[in-house]
Amino acid sequence: MFVLQTSGVSNVKLNNGVLMPEVGLGTWKAHEQGTLRETVKAALGMGYRHIDCAKYYGNQREIGDALKEAGVPRKDLFITSKIFENRHRPELVAGALDEILDELQLEYLDLLLVHWPYALNPEIDHDDFTANDLDDVPIMDTWRAMETLIGTGKVRAIGVSNFNRSILQRMLPQCRVRPAVNQIEVHPYNPEHKLVGYCQANDIAVTGYCPLGGGRVDVLGDSTIQRIAAAHGCSPAQVLISWQVARGIAAIPKSNNESRLKQNLQTVTLTLDEMQAIGQITARQRKVDPSRNTPELRWVFHEDEAKCPLI
């Protein structure tokens, strides 16, 4: 994956030539502390240009307000959002994008992702669902509707999130527009070596979510990470983000705290030995797994092809 430097900010070049800043701001649950608008404006003030949003997060209107108030030229921003699982039916996809644009108060997105590879019935608007609420929409039907959005001027790139190798392998030969990005959970306890390798070999950029373990997976407290942080005189979070971007993976840490926001933008250069030491951590844990609540969704992260309602 190419990493380009433009005016001090490093970018990942997507397969259609669009540049995506390698460090962005995560916004899941970022409204819960009541300071999201100030957080987004502070982040933009210190140089963040990539904001990761989703219909599901329920806070896009506030983010849109902050974007307007901050006044950064639209062309300098990289705004990602994701369609929720209840909008996978092909006839609902364009409307889902319009809803997102309305909330963010934007004319276009830089990147629109299919948030998850499974679909929910249209009336389910929350993630407290059961197997009865799953909708039988083949992912290629949703993807073909996504492809029609390119050329409308409303999205610069389209991609996927939480897609495993088995799904991508069967999807790619049928795609008219190949996904530009796969956004997946990446940190040393869920390094996704094979999936990242597969995506990068197929010119699909990877964005890693929960780069700091998302408050549930204690990668910040890992002894290898702590040792490397001490050697660089930086924080464990900076080591985690630096490890990710050194792999050519964009990182989207969430913070509502000004000094942590600042710190998360400042990566350090890790040595080959340090990269290898982190790559060799053997602990395994995910923060996010829908099969914890809905066992029928085991195929999402366990590559059981038989149950993937794909094509």
Ligand X SMILES: NC(=O)c1ccc[n+]([C@@H]2O[C@H](COP(=O)([O-])OP(=O)(O)OC[C@H]3O[C@@H](n4cnc5c(N)ncnc54)[C@H](OP(=O)(O)O)[C@@H]3O)[C@@H](O)[C@H]2O)c1
Comparing CB distances to ligand X, the nearer of 11 and 39 is 39
Q: What is the CA 294 to chain-centroid distance, rounded?
A: 22
When asked if residue 220 is in the footprint of ligand X (CB under 6 A), the reply is yes
Phi/psi at 116 (5° precision)? -140, 155
When asked if residue 211 is in the footprint of ligand X (CB under 6 A), the reply is yes
When asked if residue 109 is in the footprint of ligand X (CB under 6 A), the reply is no
Tell me if 126 is assigned to a ligand binding site.
no
| Shortest distance (Å) from residue 204 CB to ligand X | 15
When asked if residue 286 is in the footprint of ligand X (CB under 6 A), the reply is no
When asked if residue 290 is in the footprint of ligand X (CB under 6 A), the reply is no
Comparing CB distances to ligand X, the nearer of 188 and 253 is 253
In the beta sheet, which residues pair with residue 83?
114
When asked if residue 213 is in the footprint of ligand X (CB under 6 A), the reply is yes
Phi/psi at 117 (5° precision)? -80, -5
Number of residues that bind ligand X (CB under 6 A): 28
| Shortest distance (Å) from residue 234 CB to ligand X | 10
Comparing CB distances to ligand X, the nearer of 91 and 117 is 117
Name the residue with tokens 């997507």: 14
Active site residues: 57
| 241 Cβ neighbours under 8 A, 6+ residues apart | 23, 211, 212, 251, 253, 264, 267
> What is the spatial distance between Cα 109 and Cα 67, in angstroms, rounded to a whole number?
13
| 293 Cβ neighbours under 8 A, 6+ residues apart | 127, 128, 129
Alpha helices in 233-280 (DSSP H): 236-246, 258-265, 272-279
Q: How big, in percent rounded to 5, are the helix, strand and coil portions of the chain? A: 40, 15, 40
Piece of the chain touching ligand X by CB under 6 A; list 90-98, 121-129, 149-157, 249-257: 249-257
Phi/psi at 124 (5° precision)? -85, 115
| 205 Cβ neighbours under 8 A, 6+ residues apart | 1, 12, 13, 14, 15, 20, 159, 180, 181, 182, 199, 248, 250
> What is the spatial distance between Cα 215 and Cα 45, in angstroms, rounded to a whole number?
25
User: Which of positions 170-209 make contact with ligand X (CB under 6 A)?
Assistant: 183, 209
Comparing CB distances to ligand X, the nearer of 109 and 273 is 109
When asked if residue 263 is in the footprint of ligand X (CB under 6 A), the reply is yes
Comparing CB distances to ligand X, the nearer of 91 and 218 is 218
When asked if residue 237 is in the footprint of ligand X (CB under 6 A), the reply is yes
Q: Which of 120, 168, 252, 278 binds ligand X (CB under 6 A)?
A: 252
Nearest Cα neighbor of 282 from 224, 195, 238 is 224
When asked if residue 242 is in the footprint of ligand X (CB under 6 A), the reply is no
When asked if residue 28 is in the footprint of ligand X (CB under 6 A), the reply is yes
Piece of the chain touching ligand X by CB under 6 A; list 64-72, 224-232, 253-261, 301-309: 253-261
Which residue is nearest to ligand X, using beta carbons? 26
Annotated binding site for substrate: 115
Annotated binding site: 115
Instruction: List residues binding ligand X (CB under 6 A).
Output: 26-28, 52, 115, 161-162, 183, 209-215, 220, 235, 237, 252-257, 260, 263-264, 288
